[in-house]
Amino acid sequence: MALPSSAETIQDLPNPPGGVASAGSEKTSGLLRWLDLFLSEPLRNAPPADLVRHRVLVGTAFFMLALAMLYVVSTLFTPYAPAPGIAGLLYVATLVAARKSSRIEVPAVILLATLTVGFVGGVFSNRANFEGGVHATNLLLPAFAVYLLGPRRALLYTLFIAVLMDGVHPLYVTHQVDISAQSFSLSRFWVRHLFSGVAFLGIWGIGALHSTARDAAHQSLERALKKLQDSESKLSSIIESTDDIVSSTDTEGRLLVANSAMKLFFQKLLGAQPELEQKLFRYMNPERGQLWKDRFAQVLQGQRLRLEETYVVGDTRMVVDVSLHPILVAGGQVGGVTVFGRDVTSRKQAETRLGELHRTLVDVSRQTGMAEIATGVLHNVGNTLNSVNISTTLVTEQLRRSRVTGLTRATALLNEHRADLATFITRDPQGQQLPPYLIAVSGQLAEERDAMLKEMQSLTQSVEHIKSIVSMQQKHARTAGAVEQVAVPQLIDEALRLHAISFERLAIRIVRNYADVPLIFVDRHKLLQILINLLSNARHALVDSTQQDKCLTIHVQLAPGGERLLIGVTDNGVGIAPENLSRLFSQGFTTKKTGHGFGLHISALAADEMKGRLTCTSPGSGQGATFTLELPVKGEGV
């Protein structure tokens, strides 16, 4: 079951007990709904703290309107002027603005302006009231302005009221009214107004401090509540996203939380879903229930338990891996138990089958060597088939562009003029062009024949290489390869020719640095397959590199002492990271996305069989690499 959100938790709190509280709550709710009728939809949907301020504004406007109307009615029986009737119209304007405006500032300004005009007008019109500017009622205006408009806007209003009531009004009194007969001190009069102005600012400061602190606390509470809701939402999502059983109980074993997997497990086991606030033990038989009570008692003491439970669901047995953990609350006390369960039936069945497959794996392990040989055959034959494909493609293209078709048309023309062949060749314009054409075609056909013979020889060599690889692996012996005298530079050129088209297409520059070296006795086909693998790896490294000048350099030289021959293949490609150098010749290791990790491993084994050694050096990633093949010149042990 998903955890309840904070909003749901607050809404689901029970009402206070007792009918009086409920009735009072209903009356309050009705009054608030009545006040909301005079608010526009944006003001009615404002956050709770702002909504309170909006309702206070409407309530104040209604109170002042009622007070003004009461005053107007009272003037019918008293000698007072009905001036507050005009203020009543302004209070109505405040209510209309609250209903129409989307912001609180407009009705708030109207209300404050009405209060200010009414109070200030009364003070200025009463010439006998010398100290109206220091009346305590004045202090309500800046406090109410801070509440409605906020500290910044209320500061301007407060300064205006302070100047008007404690500056302009005293000047007005002293210049417009004859105070010579009055028994008061003028200096005391100004001091009182000065302190009244300071009190105005003080009231604004206290109100601003209160408003700022309240807003900060409200924002902090909202952030904390939102963070709590987000955390609960994430936790609920995590619990629901897993296929494992997740639940929690209190110290009495009553179920508090159960995710979908838990409910599905109960549905399969009992045909009904678990009920929250009910003890888990009630769903078990007495013997199993007592066992689980003992386990819960251990967990409530701070222990963690992990066990396997077997359940029978229909005709199948279900094995569940169960973990019990204590829930720690404030003070380090255990406040409940979390129960996690995972269906491990498939794993148990796999463990059973594993024992049955053990003997089969032992038999298969005896064939591992054969599998490695087969992999080597496939890899090396695949590399050689690339050259076969190149040769067949070239032959096919040459046949497609062959001049044989033109020769056929020429012979058909000769056959058509067989009766007058001499006249046709000597006198007919078309016949006069025939001998030069035949001469040109014969030359081109000779060139085509030579090119195709060369490609067929290359094709024959590739096929012979494939046959040698297959024959060598079939014999499965170290002496399967035939040892012969080999000119290493010539064999390297042959391996390069197998990659010639791809090198040209990729604009890879080949640099040959061949020293004068003697012929060596070696298995030609093993050496050729090593060279093909090294050139193929270099080509891949150059293709993946961002180098503009892609260069492949091949060195052939004798090692010091003259008993070993060194063949170096250097590229300026992607290079090799230092941590990969030690594993480069391991079976299955590769850094290429589409690689299989067999080429270098097989090449290293082949070099070892020829009593040689294959090594690699690289300054690092992006700095190229050098593969060095070291072979004995005399071929001992081959």
Residues 290-312: tens digit of each pLDDT: 888 888 888 888 888 888 888 88
H-helix or E-strand containing 245? strand 245-249
Q: How do strand 305-313 and strand 255-258 relate by DSSP bridges?
A: unpaired
- Our CA dihedral for 400, 405, 406, 412, rounded to 10 degrees, sits at 180
CA quadruple 156, 157, 163, 169: dihedral, nearest 10: 160
pLDDT digits (tens, 9 = 90+) for 547-597: 888 899 999 999 888 889 999 999 998 888 888 887 888 777 777 666 656
Q: In what helix (H) or strand (E) does residue 509 lie, and over which residues does it extend?
A: strand 509-514
Q: Which pLDDT score is estimated for 251? A: 86
pLDDT exceeds cutoff 80 at 68:
no
User: How far apart are alpha carbons 467 and 473 in whole angstroms?
Assistant: 10
* Mean of pLDDT values over 408-423: 75
Alpha helices per DSSP H over 476-586: 488-498, 500-505, 524-543, 578-581
pLDDT at 103: 85
Q: What is the pLDDT of residue 556?
A: 93
- In CATH, the architecture of 481-632 is 2-Layer Sandwich (3.30)
The Cα 388–Cα 487 span in angstroms is: 23
What local confidence, expressed as pLDDT, does residue 627 receive? 92
pLDDT digit string, tens, across residues 9-39: 333 333 333 343 444 445 556 777 787 888 8
Find the Cα–Cα–Cα–Cα dihedral 306, 310, 314, 315, rounded to 10°: 140
The pLDDT tens digits of the residues spanning 205-251 come to 666 666 676 667 677 777 888 888 888 888 888 888 888 888 888 88
Classify residue 566 by its DSSP letter: E
Residue 431 has pLDDT above 90, yes or no: no
Cα-based distances in Å from 152 to 56, 158, 161, 559, 572? 20, 10, 15, 89, 69
Which residues partner with 570 through β-bridges?
553, 626
Would the CA dihedral through 577, 618, 595, 480 be positive or negative? negative
CA angle, corner 566, sides to 565 and 572, nearest 5? 165
Which residue type sits at 13?
L
Q: Which of 531, 540, 463 is nearest to 494 (CA)?
A: 531
Place of tokens 């949907």: 45
Q: Is the pLDDT of residue 135 over 80?
A: no
The pLDDT, as a whole number, for residue 333 is 85
Q: Give residue 111's Cα distance to chain centre.
A: 53
Q: Please give the pLDDT value at position 379.
A: 60
How far apart (Å, rounded) are the C-alpha atoms in residues 53 and 59?
Answer: 10
Q: Which amino acid is at 440?
A: A
Give the three-class secondary structure for 334: strand
- pLDDT tens-place string over residues 368-408: 444 544 555 566 666 667 777 777 777 777 777 776 777 77
Please list, in sequence order, all residues whose beta carbon lies within 8 angstroms of the beta carbon of residue 552, skipping any fewer than 6 positions away.
Answer: 503, 508, 509, 510, 511, 535, 538, 539, 542, 569, 570, 571
pTM value > 0.75: no
Distance from the Cα of residue 549 to its chain's centroid? 37
pLDDT of amino acid 454: 77
Q: Domain 242-350, what fold?
A: Beta-Lactamase (3.30.450)
- Cβ proximity of 520 and 632 under 8 Å: yes
* Mean of the per-residue pLDDT values of the chain: 75
